[in-house]
Structure formats: C-alpha cells, structure tokens
Structure 1
Amino acid sequence: MLDFSEKALDHFFNPRNAGVLEAANAVGMAGSLEGGDAIRLMLRILDGTVAEARFQAFGGGDAIACCSALTVMISGQELAVARRITADEIGASLGGLPGSRRHAADLAWTALQTALCQFEGRSFEPPKPAPAPAAPVKLLAPRHESRPRVVRDTPLAPDEEARLIAEVIESVRPRLRADGGDVTLVAVEGSKVRVHLTGACSGCQLAALTLGGLQKRLADTLGRPIRVIPEEKKPLVAIAGAR
C-alpha cells in the first residue's frame, strides 16, 4: 500500500458508510470473489435523492477506499448528479490512483450505475471498450532496383520518360481496378518512381508482387534501372529529370 495517497489510506483505515443498509431500495453489485474484488453498494433513494449509501467490499484495500469515497460523494445528491459521477472522479477524490489500482474505481462506478438502473427498473449495460487503433499499414516495396533487359545507349529525354512511365502505369490500371485496387503516379526522382496504391492493392502481401511487376516493366521500357516506391500521400505528379 506504499503507493496509496494519504486520502486513500484514510478511507481504507477509516471507511465511511461501511456495512449493510437494511432500508436499501437500490442495490448494485460489481466484480466477483473469484476475480479478487467484489462490491455491493446499497442506496436508499427518497424523492429523487440518495438519502443514504452504504457498501460492502471484499478484496483489496483499493476497493474499500473507492467505495468509501463514492458513498461520501453521492450521499445527499440528486440522482442526476450521482449518475454523472465517473470512475476518474472517484479516483481523483482519493488523490489519484495508480494505473494498477484503477480497476477498483471502475468497479465502484459499475456498482453505482447498476444500483441506479435497478431503482429505475432497467438493466445496466456497461459501455463497450473503445476499439484499439488500427495498426498503421506498412506498404510493401521491392527491395532492389530492377535492371532492364537492354540498357539504352542514349538516355531518354525527361519528357519522353514521363510519357512512357505514364503509359506503363495506365496499362496496368485496368487489371488492378478489376481486382478492386488502383495505382497512380506521384513523382519520378532519378531512378525512383513513387506511386500511390489504393483499395485492394494497398497494404497486402500482393502489393509487393504488384510493384515488382510494375517496376520490371518500367525498367525494360526506359532501358535503365528503376525502383518503384509506394507512397501513402495522395498523388501530386512531379517529374524530376536528375538521374
């Protein structure tokens, strides 16, 4: 308990409103003995106000402290006020709870919501956890440049290269679109051809095959080594003539 604040220790050693409330007309349960912490919150509600609140807690000292603090917070409060109390506010009333002890505040909040819902004749549905953020898609690219079958003796002019690159990319787009994807030219920087993949072409294992085939066709068409690199940004075509 070395990581408890003075407020939390006070509520643990001197719990407020502990014990059974015989006149309770709303009871909320949370947790389980098998899980290590179990909470029973009992309320006596009169004229839309929490007239009295008591609790029983089984398990760690953090559960006792959170329940003690919660009963103090809600006693004498209107139901609308009690309903808006959050687990974060329960923890803050104890001077803050370490991450490993936040679970006790969540249990106390759940017991409160369950009791209020029981009093109102409805079932409590705990909020669904927020979905985990999607992992960033790693676009796959060929590891090495493709070398042409025949190297041109005289390099092509930048304008001619740009035209040929556009033609090669346009020639593969119908097949990619048929499979639910697409590819668009972004920029040409020396031996690097940057493209933008979308739909079924982006972020999958087949992306490397798609780019590898495109890279080989470009190298053979231009007569010089080419590396195709996928970009996540939207296409903004630019041609750089430097090799």
Structure 2
Amino acid sequence: MRTLTLAAALAVAAGAAAAQDVVRMGTEGAYPPYNFINDQGEVDGFEVELGNELCARAQLTCQWVTNEWDSIIPNLVSGNYDTIMAGMSITDERDEVIDFTQDYIPPTPSSYVGLSADVDVTSGTIAVQTSTLQASHVAETGATLLEFATQDETIAAVQNGEADAVFADTDFLTPIVDASGGELSFIGDPVPLGGGIGMGVRESDTELKQKFNDAITSMKEDGSLNALLTKWFGDKEQGY
C-alpha cells in the first residue's frame, strides 16, 4: 500500500484549499460604470473594484468571468461561475431562482431618456434591455415594449428613431446624456424600482453568501463602501 509523505500530503491539502478559495465572479462587462471592459481589454468598474475588495476581506481569490446578460442567471445556476455582480436588482422573482447577499447599492431610480423631453412614455415605444426590472415595469405601463440584448442597442434604437425613449438605471444613463451634447434628454421624473443591488449566488452556497455578507457589512461600517459609491457615481444622497 503506497502512502503519501507528510510533505506531499500537506502540499495536496494546500492545493485543495487554494482551489476552494477561488471564486469565479460573473459579470456582464457592458454596463458602465457598474462593469465594463476597459481600454486594456480588462473587466473594470465599480463592481469589479468592490468585488476584489470583498474577496480580499473574505480571504478569497476572485476570477472574473463575463457573460451575456440574458443568460447570466442560468449560467450561475449551472455552475459556470459562483457569483453574479452585474448591476442586478434584488427582486422576488429572481430570488425564487437564486439567492442574494445584502445590497451593496441602495435602491436607486430608473429614468426615461429620448431625443425630446416631451415624449409620452406611456404610449410610445420604449427600448429596454431584456430580462431587466425596467422591462417588467414598461410592460405594465401600456407602452410598446422593445427589448434588446444589450444596453448599447437600446441607446442606438432611440438615436436611429426605432424607439421613442430608453428606460434604464439613472446612474447608467446620466453620463450618456451628458456626453450627447444635447441630443438626448431626460423625460419626466425618475422612477424608483427594486430593492437595491446585490450579489447573486446559488441557493446552495450558504457559506459563500455569509462570507460576502460579512465583507459587505464591514465595508458599510468602516465607510469604504460609501467612498467607492462616491468615486464611481459621484456625490449621492443615497448611501450607507
């Protein structure tokens, strides 16, 4: 009967522990400033900086994985990565399929944007990203819902006249409107939606969820989460 030497056994155990400490962080990589691909071709943004800090506090190693939005939950459930950090609002519907940590962004408003501030968003054609909280909202307003796989396509639909307005997170739309040189305008008042943004995990990963909850709590308590929110989104009335 062959046996491992003590040194070999320790090496195997250390390797197994290291493997368990690697957490694959799923994100879209197409939703600035939450997450995006930077000029160096690397995943970047508020959630990437936050996620790396959360992993450090939880003594975990992050590996970032990008995935298209419309299949981001199914691929978490099937095991292609271990978490979702992708500007995902916590909703009852999603919570039936996956679990969420506590929020790391408080509930934030969504807004309509169009080529004119006078668009009637209750009767027009509204572009939204598919499988979002905003898509569900528009479907209930009586407006014509026009869904796209990416947020970039929703903006293009407004600019080329395919849609009368786009409906998305205000934080996402604000820099786009500012950079449009007056081409795009906000329409009406912001609309509060959702229960904040959290990290999605599989329902079976209770220990992982607790580790990230503890890390998020520590960042709320020491003020570092508010500092990151200010860095990426500017001064905000909402914070922790």
TM-score interval, normalised by the smaller of the two chains: under 0.3
Bigger Rg, which one: 1
Q: Which has the higher strand share?
A: 2
TM-score normalised according to structure 2 size: 0.23
TM-score normalised according to structure 1 size: 0.22
